[in-house]
């Protein structure tokens, strides 16, 4: 596909990338944004880690704070979509119910859930920020996959395991999905 | 000015409309958005009342909740600007310190403070939502201008009193200001 063919959709939408820490969510979101920059529809990244230093800086990692974190990101995604901006949200968002609320906030018709399904062992082997090491040492409480649950999405639009599929191929699969996405469903 | 001349600025920015309830902030913001829609740079409205039904639905009107309300709107304005979207924020934001924090979050170079300086008497005479009546009856606590302070901006970019200046003229003054705004200051 050429860049101009990447985004045939006329309605802004939200790509919601969920998965374990270290699964490759931010890397994939940023690659999608880079690939989209030359296209007619740029993708803006809402990164969970970045937002925790800004909009969500008052929140921790308790169940209720995680719930509120997901809720706020979904509210911003909705506002961005309303402003005409397509977004890729990269955040663990471990609970099925919280992601369902996010979908309801953003709008069923423009919410595309992508499970970045890199297995725990691969995420832990990468451990880009040394968080798994600290979690195993008991320094980090409520760490998803170690001391806190991750609920696998039962029915995501796409499932991508970045430990077996290269980044470029992942990007291509997302854009392939978008190119075949039923526009009628996005534009009800 | 023709619509295409309305937005000569290349950097997205944040118009921050502060003033009493009923001062005309939302009306002005929505008029700016309508006037900008046909131009090359659309303006998206972040309305305090609307956000209190979404992103800020967990917040009340205590001093700390108002502070958090202003902070979140500023964080969203910053994200919008980073995504290339110019915004008009319409919210009371009564405290100088909170607006200063908003300016710091959004970025000094792209924060344009507009005081919608309609006097209390005129706002109360309008009372579009019946809130002043309820505040005078003691039904609403911490109501800005009645039982809660409004700190006048000491040095806004623009001051507009919608009780003496018509809506169209207000819109024109904002666009006139923007057209003379030093682009170098916005794009440091």
**Rounded distance, CA A162 to CA A102, Å?**
24
pLDDT digits (tens, 9 = 90+) for B149-158: 999 999 999 9
Residue B135 has pLDDT above 50, yes or no: yes
Q: Cβ(A116)–Cβ(A23) under 8 Å?
A: yes
pLDDT the model gives residue B178:
87
Q: Please report which confidence band the pLDDT of residue A100 belongs to, taking 50, 70 and 90 as the band edges.
A: very high
**Rounded distance, CA B122 to CA A69, Å?**
40
The first and second tokens of residue A29, run together, are 């979101």
Q: Please report which confidence band the pLDDT of residue A1 belongs to, taking 50, 70 and 90 as the band edges.
A: very low
Residue A118 has pLDDT above 60, yes or no: yes
Across chain B, where does the E strand assignment appear?
14-18, 43-47, 86-90, 111-116, 158-160
Per residue, the 3-state secondary structure of chain A, as one string, reads CCHHHCCCCCCCCEEEEECCCCCCHHHHHHHHHHHHHCCCCCEEEEEHHHHCCCCCCCCCCCHHHHHHHHHHHHHHHHHHHHCCCEEEEECCCCCHHHHHHHHHHHCHHHEEEEEECCCHHHHHHHCCCCHHHHHHCCCCCCCECCCECCCCCCCCCEEECCCCCCHHHHHHHHHHHHHHCCHHHHCC
Sign of the alpha-carbon torsion through A151, A152, A153, A154: negative
Residue B40 has pLDDT above 90, yes or no: no
Partners of B15 in the beta sheet? B88, B112
Chain A residues within 8 angstroms (CB to CB) of chain B = 42, 44, 46, 54-55, 58, 68, 72, 75-76, 78-80, 82-85, 87, 105
Q: Please report which confidence band the pLDDT of residue A3 belongs to, taking 50, 70 and 90 as the band edges.
A: very low
Q: Please report which confidence band the pLDDT of residue B180 belongs to, taking 50, 70 and 90 as the band edges.
A: confident
- Decide if A42 and B76 are in contact by the 8 Å CB cutoff: no
Q: Which of A32-41, A93-102, B66-75 has the weakest average pLDDT? A: A32-41
Residue B7 has pLDDT above 50, yes or no: no
Per cent of chain B over pLDDT 90 is 79
Distance from CA of B135 to the nearest CA of A (A): 30
pLDDT digits (tens, 9 = 90+) for B103-125: 999 999 899 999 999 999 999 99
Of A165, A153, A175, residue with least CA distance to A15: A175
**Rounded distance, CA A177 to CA B40, Å?**
31
- Residues B82-86 have a mean pLDDT of 93
**What's chain A's average pLDDT?**
90
Which of B53, B79, B102 to probe by mutation at the A interface, max A CB count within 10 Å? B79
pLDDT digits (tens, 9 = 90+) for A31-82: 999 988 766 578 999 999 999 999 999 999 999 999 999 999 999 999 999 9
DSSP classification of residue B148? B
- Decide if B83 and A58 are in contact by the 8 Å CB cutoff: no
- Residues B74-97 have a mean pLDDT of 96
pTM of the full structure: 0.89
- Residues A77-97 have a mean pLDDT of 96
> Could you confirm whether A163 is annotated as catalytic?
no
Rounded to two decimals, the ipTM of the complex is 0.87
pLDDT the model gives residue A39:
60
Q: Residue A135, exposed/middle/buried by CB under 10 A (0-12, 13-18, 19+)?
A: buried
- Residues B82-91 have a mean pLDDT of 95
From the list A4, A93, A147, A163, the catalytic residue is A93
pLDDT the model gives residue A6:
44
- Decide if A72 and B72 are in contact by the 8 Å CB cutoff: yes
- Decide if A83 and B80 are in contact by the 8 Å CB cutoff: yes
- Decide if A80 and B79 are in contact by the 8 Å CB cutoff: yes
pLDDT the model gives residue A188:
46
pLDDT digits (tens, 9 = 90+) for A131-170: 999 999 999 989 999 999 999 999 999 999 999 999 999 9
Per cent of chain B over pLDDT 70 is 89
Distance from CA of A137 to the nearest CA of B (A): 34
From chain B, pick out residues whose CB is under 8 angstroms from the CB of A46: 79
């Amino acid at each position: 596909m050429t860049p101009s063919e990447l985004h045939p959709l006329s309605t802004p939408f939200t790509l919601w990338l969920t998965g374990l820490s270290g699964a490759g969510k931010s890397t994939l979101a940023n690659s999608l944004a880079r690939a989209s920059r030359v296209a007619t529809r740029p993708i803006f990244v809402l990164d969970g880690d970045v937002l925790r230093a800004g909009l969500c800086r008052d929140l921790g990692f308790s169940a209720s704070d995680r719930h509120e974190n997901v809720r706020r990101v979904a509210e911003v995604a909705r506002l961005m979509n309303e402003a005409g901006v397509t977004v890729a949200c990269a955040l663990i968002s471990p609970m099925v119910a919280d992601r369902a609320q996010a979908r309801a906030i953003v709008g069923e018709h423009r919410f595309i859930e992508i499970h970045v399904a890199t297995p725990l062992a691969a995420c832990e082997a990468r451990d880009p920020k040394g968080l798994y090491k600290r979690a195993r040492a008991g320094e980090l409480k409520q760490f998803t996959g170690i001391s806190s649950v991750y609920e696998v999405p039962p029915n995501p639009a796409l499932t991508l395991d970045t430990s077996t599929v290269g980044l470029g191929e992942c990007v291509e699969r997302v854009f392939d999905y978008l190119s075949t996405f039923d526009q009628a469903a996005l534009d009800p």
